[in-house]
């Protein structure tokens, strides 16, 4: 199992964020315990719903009563994120169709969903790219969108007319960032990917299977592609140039492989927070005390999310069952000292205190995504 760099517990508690690396890669365990699995039991459900949880990272493109019933059952609010991609499912190739699908989910959710819009970066080389993007964003804001997504195709795919990769700090994007900030919206950035995307093939890497299935994102084998460091540095330039822009870095800001790096960024940029979406396994891989210390120190800057996705062709009943089990599993890890199974290892939950859980699941989402609960809350 891969060892990840992170600040040690004592360093965090003392207020530092240095780059010491833990030599322990096996999670803490309670050897005699049997792993807890499955959906919420009645008592767990009461505790989970009491948090009034918010999932700030979903991609729901199907308006379905079964999904809405789950939101109601879990007292769950979601941020439904639009992503334009030319190498993914057909629903993501057409911004207008995807926007229609997402806003239909929002309008039919009885207040449980909010929209995160985006702009079509594939139009970058068209003369009217900037004004068209701003015009489209403002129309989405008028319809109720509370945030904007910048995806990893900036930095990892799209090129300018000269054949150079576009990075997040490209000057052409700056007016768009200014417009987002002027409207008081939040920019969600998923730029770059886990370290695996730039590393030699290694089946033991946590995300190896993803890049084996999606070679278009396996930058290690794409000649002359930007380094991960260059992409993240460009993201940091956007933070520096736009101190009034709220930015939430998806997936621990793509720094999930080095929690000391996450800590340094949170210390340096007050306008930056990160979500946990589909990266909780990285927490599970680390010593329990270190992760408790990390979350405790940065409890105001960490936001719960999952990356759950439902496309129109999906079996919604099956996806909802899977989502409920995933919500239960991640809640047990964060909220209890139950023993969980992670890739054959027994992992002890973090048993975070109630006030910290409330921030992760609710308060931070409300702070970093104004309007996520709608005007009635």
Q: What is the pLDDT of residue 323?
A: 97
115 assigned to some structural domain: yes
- Do the domain assignments include residue 176? yes
CA 273 to chain centre: 10
Q: What is the pLDDT of residue 333?
A: 98
pLDDT of amino acid 375: 53
- The CATH number that applies at residue 312 is 3.20.20.140
**Would 18 be classed as within a structural domain?**
no
Total structural domains in the chain? 1
Q: Is residue 5 part of a domain?
A: no
- Is there a domain that residue 201 lies in? yes
pLDDT of residue 91: 60
Question: By 3-state DSSP, what share of the chain in percent is helix, strand and coil, each rounded to 5?
Answer: 45, 15, 40
Look-up of token digits 């989502």 = 323
DSSP structure string for 210-272: HHHH-GGG-GGGSTTPPPHHHHHHHHHHHHHH-TTSEEEEHHHHTTTTBHHHHHHHHHH-TTE
Helix, strand or coil, per DSSP, at residue 138:
helix
- Judge whether 75 lies within some domain: yes
Q: Which domain holds residue 310?
A: 29-368
- Average pLDDT per 10 consecutive residues for the chain, totaling 377 residues: 35 32 43 76 97 98 97 98 82 85 97 98 97 98 98 97 97 98 98 96 88 93 97 98 98 97 98 97 95 98 97 94 97 96 89 98 98 73
Q: pLDDT value at position 206?
A: 80
pTM, whole model, 2 decimals? Answer: 0.91
In a domain, 131, yes or no: yes
Answer yes or no: is 49 within a domain: yes
């Amino acid at each position: 199992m891969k060892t990840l760099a992170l600040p040690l517990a004592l360093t965090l508690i003392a207020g530092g964020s240095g780059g010491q690396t833990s030599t322990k890669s096996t999670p803490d365990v309670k050897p005699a315990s049997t792993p807890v699995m499955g959906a919420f039991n009645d008592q767990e459900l009461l505790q989970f719903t009491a948090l009034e949880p918010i999932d700030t990272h979903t991609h729901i493109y199907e308006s379905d009563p079964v999904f809405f019933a789950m939101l109601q059952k879990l007292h769950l609010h979601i941020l439904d994120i639009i992503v334009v991609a030319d190498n993914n499912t057909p629903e993501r190739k057409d911004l207008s169709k995807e926007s229609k699908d997402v806003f239909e989910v929002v309008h039919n959710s009885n207040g449980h969903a909010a929209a995160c819009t985006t702009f079509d970066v594939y139009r970058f080389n068209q003369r009217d790219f900037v004004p068209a993007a701003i015009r489209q964003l403002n129309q989405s804001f008028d319809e109720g969108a509370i945030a904007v997504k910048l995806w990893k195709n900036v930095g990892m795919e799209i090129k300018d007319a000269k054949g150079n990769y576009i990075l997040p700090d490209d000057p052409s994007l700056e007016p768009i960032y200014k417009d987002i900030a002027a409207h008081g919206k939040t920019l969600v950035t998923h730029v770059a990917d886990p370290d695996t995307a730039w590393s030699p093939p290694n089946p033991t890497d946590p995300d190896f299977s993803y890049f084996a299935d999606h070679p278009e994102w396996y930058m290690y084998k794409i000649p002359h592609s930007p380094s991960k460091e260059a992409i993240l540095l460009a993201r940091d330039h956007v933070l520096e140039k736009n101190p009034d822009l709220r930015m939430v870095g998806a997936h621990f800001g793509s720094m999930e492989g080095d929690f000391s790096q996450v800590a340094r960024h949170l210390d340096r940029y007050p306008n930056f927070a990160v979500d946990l979406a589909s990266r909780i396994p990285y927490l599970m891989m680390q010593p329990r005390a270190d992760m408790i210390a990390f979350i405790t120190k940065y409890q105001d800057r960490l936001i719960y999310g999952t990356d759950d996705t439902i496309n129109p062709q999906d079996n919604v009943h099956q996806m909802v069952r899977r989502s409920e089990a995933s919500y239960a599993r991640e809640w047990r890890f964060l909220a209890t000292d139950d023993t969980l199974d992670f890739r054959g290892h027994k992992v002890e939950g973090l048993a975070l205190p109630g006030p910290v859980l409330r921030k992760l699941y609710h308060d931070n989402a409300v702070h970093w995504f104004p309007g996520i609960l709608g005007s009635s809350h």
